[in-house]
Structure 1
Amino acid sequence: MHEFETQKMLDLKEVPTKPTILPLNGNADSYALKKHSGLSLWAAAVFVGGNMAGSGVLALPRAVANAGPIGIALIAVFCIASGYLGTRLAMCWVIIEERYPEYKKGVRDPYPTIGFHAFGQFGRILVSITNTISLFGVSIVFLILCSDILTALVRSLLPGYTICTWLLVITLLLIPLSWIGSPKEFTWAGIAALVTTVIASVLSIIQAAIDAPTVSPPPEYPAPGFLSFFLAFGAILFSFGGASTFPTIQIDMKDKTKFPKAVAIAFVGLMLIYFPMATTGYYVYGDSVDSNILNNLSQGPMTVAAQVLIGAHVFSAFIIIFNPVCQELEKALKVPSEMTWKRIVTRTLLMLLALFIAETVPRFGKILDLVGGSTISLLTFILPPLFYMRIVDQRKPEWIERRISIIERIICWVMIAVGTLGGVASTVSAVISITQDSGMDVPCYLQPFMITDNSTAI
Structure 2
Amino acid sequence: MSHSEENSVDVDVVAARQKKIDDWLPVTASRNGKWWYSTFHNLTAMVGAGVLTLPYAMSNMGWGPGATVLFLSWIITLYTLWQMVEMHEMVPGKRFDRYHELGQHAFGEKLGLWVVVPQQVIVEVGTCIVYTVTGGKSLKKFHDTICPDCKDIRTSYWIVIFASVNLVLAQFPNFNSISVISFGAAAMSLMYSTISWCAAINKGTEPDVSYGLKATNSTDAVFNFLSALGDVAFAYAGHNVVLEIQATMPSTPEMPSKKPMWRGVILAYIGVAFCYLPVAFIGYYIFGNSVDDNILITLQRPSWLIATANFFVFLHVVGGYQVFAMPVFDMIETYMVTKLNFSPSTVLRVTTRSIYVALTMLIAICIPFFGSLLGFLGGLASAPTSYFLPCIIWLRLMRPKRYGLSWTINWICIFLGVLLMILSPIAAMRNIIMSAKDYKFFS
* TM > 0.5 fold call: yes
Q: Deviation of residue 368 (structure 1)?
A: 4.8
Once residues 279 and 179 of structure 1 are traced to their aligned partners in structure 2, the CA distance between those partners, rounded to angstroms, is 39
Matching residue within 13, 32, 46 for 1:52: 46
Partner of 2:134: 145
Partner of 1:451: none
Once residues 341 and 248 of structure 1 are traced to their aligned partners in structure 2, the CA distance between those partners, rounded to angstroms, is 21
Once residues 367 and 150 of structure 2 are traced to their aligned partners in structure 1, the CA distance between those partners, rounded to angstroms, is 22
Partner of 2:179: 187
- Report the secondary structure of 2:178's partner residue: coil
- Report the secondary structure of 2:296's partner residue: helix
Cα deviations by residue, 1:206-265 (Å, 9 ceiling, x for unpaired)? 11222235x588566425622211221222122222134444455626453575565444
Partner of 2:395: 389
Q: Which amino acid aligns with 1:287?
A: N
* Correspondence 1:304 to 2:307: yes
Percent identity between matched residues is: 22
Q: Which amino acid aligns with 2:315?
A: A
Once residues 160 and 207 of structure 2 are traced to their aligned partners in structure 1, the CA distance between those partners, rounded to angstroms, is 34
**Structure (1 or 2) with the greater helix fraction:** 2
Mapped contact 2:185–2:317 kept (Cα < 8 A): no
- Report the secondary structure of 1:290's partner residue: coil
Cα deviations by residue, 1:46-72 (Å, 9 ceiling, x for unpaired)? 554343223232222222123222222
Once residues 258 and 424 of structure 1 are traced to their aligned partners in structure 2, the CA distance between those partners, rounded to angstroms, is 36
* Correspondence 1:110 to 2:101: no
Matching residue within 78, 81, 87 for 2:76: 81
Q: Deviation of residue 426 (structure 1)?
A: 1.0
Structure 2 matches for 1:327-346, cutoff 5 A?
Answer: 328-329=331-332, 334=340, 336=342, 338=345, 344=351
Cα deviations by residue, 1:102-148 (Å, 9 ceiling, x for unpaired)? 31xx55x3322211110011213432332222111001110111111
Identify the range of structure 1 (247-256 vs 126-135) with the bigger mean alpha-carbon deviation.
Answer: 247-256
Structure 1 residues 235 and 208: alpha-carbon distance in aligned structure 2, compared to 1, 3 A threshold: same
Q: Which amino acid aligns with 1:35?
A: R
Once residues 136 and 77 of structure 1 are traced to their aligned partners in structure 2, the CA distance between those partners, rounded to angstroms, is 27
Identify the range of structure 1 (119-128 vs 365-374) with the bigger mean alpha-carbon deviation.
Answer: 365-374
Once residues 247 and 323 of structure 1 are traced to their aligned partners in structure 2, the CA distance between those partners, rounded to angstroms, is 12
TM-score by length of 1: 0.75
Cα deviations by residue, 1:351-371 (Å, 9 ceiling, x for unpaired)? 554345434542475245335
Q: Deviation of residue 195 (structure 1)?
A: 1.5
Identify the range of structure 1 (222-231 vs 412-421) with the bigger mean alpha-carbon deviation.
Answer: 222-231
Cα deviations by residue, 1:372-412 (Å, 9 ceiling, x for unpaired)? 4122112111210011111113xxxxxxxx75762321221
Mapped contact 1:219–1:283 kept (Cα < 8 A): no
Structure 1 residues 418 and 112: alpha-carbon distance in aligned structure 2, compared to 1, 3 A threshold: same
Structure 1 residues 15 and 64: alpha-carbon distance in aligned structure 2, compared to 1, 3 A threshold: farther
Structure 1 residues 364 and 154: alpha-carbon distance in aligned structure 2, compared to 1, 3 A threshold: farther
Partner of 1:8: none
Mapped contact 1:88–1:384 kept (Cα < 8 A): yes
Once residues 24 and 323 of structure 2 are traced to their aligned partners in structure 1, the CA distance between those partners, rounded to angstroms, is 14
Once residues 405 and 46 of structure 1 are traced to their aligned partners in structure 2, the CA distance between those partners, rounded to angstroms, is 37
Cα deviations by residue, 1:156-177 (Å, 9 ceiling, x for unpaired)? 1445334344334544665566
Q: Deviation of residue 317 (structure 1)?
A: 3.4
Cα deviations by residue, 1:322-367 (Å, 9 ceiling, x for unpaired)? 35435645665749454669974x6666555434543454247524
Matching residue within 54, 60, 66 for 1:71: 66
Structure 1 residues 273 and 352: alpha-carbon distance in aligned structure 2, compared to 1, 3 A threshold: closer
Give the paired residue count. 408
Q: Deviation of residue 303 (structure 1)?
A: 1.7
Partner of 1:202: 194
Structure 1 residues 329 and 229: alpha-carbon distance in aligned structure 2, compared to 1, 3 A threshold: same
* Correspondence 1:375 to 2:381: yes
Partner of 1:415: 413
Partner of 1:132: 121
Structure 1 residues 367 and 216: alpha-carbon distance in aligned structure 2, compared to 1, 3 A threshold: farther
Q: Which amino acid aligns with 1:289?
A: V
Mapped contact 1:112–1:128 kept (Cα < 8 A): yes
Q: Which amino acid aligns with 1:77?
A: L
Structure 1: give runs of 5+ residues left out of the alignment: 1-10, 24-31, 394-401, 446-457
Partner of 2:10: none
TM-score by length of 2: 0.78
Mapped contact 1:164–1:359 kept (Cα < 8 A): yes
Once residues 265 and 385 of structure 1 are traced to their aligned partners in structure 2, the CA distance between those partners, rounded to angstroms, is 22
Structure 1 residues 188 and 34: alpha-carbon distance in aligned structure 2, compared to 1, 3 A threshold: farther
Q: Deviation of residue 422 (structure 1)?
A: 1.0
Q: Deviation of residue 19 (structure 1)?
A: 7.9
Once residues 341 and 349 of structure 2 are traced to their aligned partners in structure 1, the CA distance between those partners, rounded to angstroms, is 6
What is the root-mean-square deviation in Å for CA atoms of aligned residues? 3.7
Q: Which amino acid aligns with 1:88?
A: Q
Q: Which amino acid aligns with 2:234?
A: F
